[in-house]
């Protein structure tokens, strides 16, 4: 599949049926698998033979879908998780432990920020958050001797800041650590971070990949490009024997291409068990089959809506990297020449009250704490996700009281604009 274009990988990647086998990825809804001898079972447990034994660790349906996402990103190994949060957690915890440190962009999803700054901090991992637009000097100054990874988001949710992936990759590599990129909003259809130096990619597949609001899920993909053994002292978990797995040294046994995902499966999935259900993986695959078609329409609709709103007298500002007036327009063109995503944000004149009134009047756009869905939806963060903050705190968080996050679905753009028009006419 590796020579095919992204559209073909979306449709046919990850699963090639043999003679007389199901055309669609079969749902193997089985927790366990039968073997003829316990000697063979022993080999499976020693990771000497490959095969399925318990669906908490691996399942054929989930593996086929992970293999598709792996091909789409251009990686060497991948795993599905039960949510995007689990993917973010595993991606870092697989290489950083108590006493370690991680550099992260401050423009990341709120859930990821909490996971890093509060929960993982309690586990003894320190994070330094840097502005995505910091200088190279500021970025380099954030590293410590115990830094184990750098983390950022291609297009930050909800700030819609486009990351300079190359700048972050160069700094990570200069300090002998990998760059992990959350590529949820761009998807591999619009951006493939491995082509710009990222080493590991994570996804909340709940968003565009599923695309129909049907199943929560996540994915981690390894590029296979990071040389763990060259930085042996930093990554003992990958480069020294794992006593909890019969003394296996992952980087030796599974090589640069397979070590990271094998360890995440054999250790983290075994112990934390954030396993997706085979049925959810099947639904995710249905979404992936049309991802390339949907992303194009999401971007076209967002572009049309952003251009319309930018000219509207009742709108004070619009944030969308597809607008030439946007601070990230050039950077987005470099990393995402075919479009960014379908999410925009804007401010209504009349502040918080104006925003509330206008949203009440929308008929097509539903009020939801969700984004990146086939159906258009919107959210007023000051009233929902950021409700506990006062006006000053909201501004500091980059979420002013008048901000509306508007996620363009794949409906007709003229209908979406007419809906906004009638809602704005009433305020
Ligand atoms: C939603 C989201 C997550 C978390 O994913 P869940 O599937 O909700 O656990 C992580 N990163 C980004 C960018 C997201 O939008």
Q: How far is the CA of 252 from the centre of ligand 1 (A)?
A: 33
Q: Report how far apart, in Å, the C-alpha atoms of 324 and of each of 187, 245, 315, 318, 320 are.
A: 22, 53, 17, 11, 9
Residue 1 included in any domain: no
Q: Is 204 in the pocket of ligand 1 (CB under 6 A)?
A: yes
278 shares a domain with 295? no
123 shares a domain with 189? yes
Q: Give the tens place of pLDDT for each residue, 284-336.
A: 999 999 999 999 999 999 999 999 999 999 999 999 999 999 999 999 999 99
- How many other C-beta atoms lie within 10 A of the C-beta of residue 22? 9
Q: Which of 227, 255, 285 is the last residue of a domain?
A: 285
Residue 393 included in any domain: yes
268 shares a domain with 121? yes
Q: Give the tens place of pLDDT for each residue, 397-426.
A: 677 888 999 999 999 999 999 999 999 999
Pick from 80, 83, 85 the residue to mutate for probing ligand 1's pocket: most ligand atoms within 8 Å of its CB. Answer: 85
Residue 215, pLDDT above cutoff 80? yes
**Three-state DSSP class for residue 379:** strand
In the chain, the percentage of residues whose pLDDT exceeds 70 is 99
β-pair type (126-130, 101-105): parallel
Residue 127 included in any domain: yes
Backbone angles phi, psi at 281, to 5 degrees: -65, -35
Q: With contact defined as beta carbons under 8 Å apart, do 250 and 238 qualify?
A: yes
In the sheet that holds 366-367, the strands lie side by side as: 315-319, 343-348, 403-407, 377-379, 366-367
Can you give the CATH number for the domain in which 48 is found?
3.40.640.10
Strands (E), 59-193: 77-81, 101-105, 126-130, 147-153, 179-182
Q: Report how far apart, in Å, the C-alpha atoms of 245 and of each of 52, 224, 237, 253 are.
A: 17, 22, 11, 12
Q: What is the pLDDT of residue 395?
A: 77
* Rounded Cα distance, 259 and 255, in Å: 6
Can you give the CATH number for the domain in which 409 is found?
3.90.1150.10
| Exposed / middle / buried, residue 34 (Cβ in 10 Å: 0-12, 13-18, 19+) | exposed
Q: How far is the CA of 8 from the centre of ligand 1 (A)?
A: 26
320 shares a domain with 255? no
Contacts of 87 (CB under 8 A, 6+ apart): 81, 202, 203, 204, 218, 219, 220
Q: Is 64 in the pocket of ligand 1 (CB under 6 A)?
A: no
Pick from 109, 190, 372 the residue to mutate for probing ligand 1's pocket: most ligand atoms within 8 Å of its CB. Answer: 109
Q: What is the pLDDT of residue 120?
A: 98
Q: Is 216 in the pocket of ligand 1 (CB under 6 A)?
A: yes
308 shares a domain with 180? no
Q: Give the tens place of pLDDT for each residue, 62-100.
A: 999 999 999 999 999 999 999 999 999 999 999 999 999
The candidate with the shortest Cα–Cα distance to 96, out of 264, 272, 269, is 264
Q: Give the tens place of pLDDT for each residue, 135-162.
A: 999 999 999 999 999 999 999 988 899 9
323 shares a domain with 215? no
Q: With contact defined as beta carbons under 8 Å apart, do 14 and 66 qualify?
A: yes
Q: With contact defined as beta carbons under 8 Å apart, do 73 and 188 qualify?
A: yes
298 shares a domain with 248? no
169 shares a domain with 58? yes
381 shares a domain with 281? no
Q: Give the tens place of pLDDT for each residue, 221-275.
A: 999 999 999 999 999 999 999 998 889 999 999 999 999 999 999 999 999 999 9
Residue 398 included in any domain: yes
Q: Determine the length of the chain.
A: 427
pTM over 0.85: yes
* Residue 216 alpha carbon, nearest atom of ligand 1: 7
Q: Give the tens place of pLDDT for each residue, 105-132.
A: 999 998 999 999 999 999 999 999 999 9
What is the enclosing helix (H) or strand (E) of 315? strand 315-319
**Total domains present in the chain:** 2
281 shares a domain with 295? no
Q: Give the tens place of pLDDT for each residue, 7-23.
A: 999 999 999 999 999 99
Q: What is the pLDDT of residue 273?
A: 98
Structural domain span for residue 197 = 6-285
| Measured torsion, CA atoms of residues 113, 115, 116, 117, in degrees rounded to the nearest 10 | 70
201 shares a domain with 65? yes
Whether the upstream peptide bond of residue 294 has omega within 30° of 0, thus cis, is: no
305 shares a domain with 252? no
Which residues make beta-bridge pairs with 344?
406
Residue 367 included in any domain: yes
* Rounded Cα distance, 79 and 61, in Å: 11
* Rounded Cα distance, 146 and 346, in Å: 40
Residue 205 included in any domain: yes
**Three-state DSSP class for residue 150:** strand
Contacts of 256 (CB under 8 A, 6+ apart): 224, 225, 226, 227, 228, 229
Q: Which of 285, 302, 332 is the last residue of a domain?
A: 285
Q: With contact defined as beta carbons under 8 Å apart, do 127 and 104 qualify?
A: yes
Q: Which of 233, 267, 285 is the last residue of a domain?
A: 285
Q: Is 73 in the pocket of ligand 1 (CB under 6 A)?
A: no
Residue 280 included in any domain: yes
**Three-state DSSP class for residue 180:** strand
């Amino acid at each position: 599949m590796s020579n095919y274009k992204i559209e073909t990988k979306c449709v046919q990647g990850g699963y090639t049926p043999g003679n007389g086998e199901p055309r669609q990825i079969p749902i193997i809804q089985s927790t366990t698998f039968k073997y003829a001898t316990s000697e063979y079972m022993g080999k499976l447990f020693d990771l000497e033979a490959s095969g399925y034994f318990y669906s908490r660790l691996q399942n054929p349906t989930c593996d086929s879908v992970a293999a598709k996402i792996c091909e789409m990103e251009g990686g060497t190994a991948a795993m599905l998780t039960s949510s995007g949060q689990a993917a973010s957690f595993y991606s870092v915890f697989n290489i950083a432990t108590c006493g370690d440190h991680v550099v992260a962009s401050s423009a990341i999803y709120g859930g990821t920020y909490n996971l890093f700054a509060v929960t993982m901090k309690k586990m003894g991992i320190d994070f330094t958050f840097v502005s995505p637009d910091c200088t190279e000097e500021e970025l380099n100054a954030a590293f410590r001797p115990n830094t184990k990874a750098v983390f950022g988001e291609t297009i930050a949710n909800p700030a819609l800041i486009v990351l300079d992936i190359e700048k972050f990759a160069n700094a990570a590599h200069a300090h002998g650590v990998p760059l992990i990129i959350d590529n949820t909003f761009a998807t591999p259809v619009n951006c493939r971070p491995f082509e710009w130096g990222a080493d590991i990619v994570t996804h909340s597949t709940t968003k565009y990949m599923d695309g129909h609001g049907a199943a929560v899920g996540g994915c981690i993909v390894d590029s296979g490009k990071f040389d763990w053994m060259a930085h042996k002292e930093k990554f003992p978990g990958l480069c020294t024997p794992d006593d909890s797995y019969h003394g296996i040294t992952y980087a030796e046994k599974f090589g640069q291409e397979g070590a990271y995902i094998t360890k995440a499966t054999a250790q983290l999935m075994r112990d934390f068990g954030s396993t997706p259900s085979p049925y959810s993986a099947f639904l995710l695959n249905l979404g992936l089959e049309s991802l390339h078609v949907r992303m194009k329409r999401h971007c076209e609709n967002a572009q049309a809506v952003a251009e319309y709103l930018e000219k509207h007298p009742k709108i004070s500002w619009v944030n969308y990297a597809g607008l030439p007036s946007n601070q990230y327009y050039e950077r987005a063109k470099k990393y995402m020449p075919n479009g960014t995503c379908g999410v925009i944000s804007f401010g209504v004149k009349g502040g918080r009250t104006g925003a509330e009134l206008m949203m009440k009047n929308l008929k097509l756009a539903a009020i939801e704490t969700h984004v990146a869905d086939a159906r258009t939806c919107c959210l007023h963060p000051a009233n929902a996700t950021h409700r506990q903050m006062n006006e000053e705190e909201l501004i500091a968080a980059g979420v002013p009281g008048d901000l509306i996050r508007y996620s363009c679905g794949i409906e007709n753009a003229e209908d979406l604009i007419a809906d906004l028009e009638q809602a704005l006419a009433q305020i």
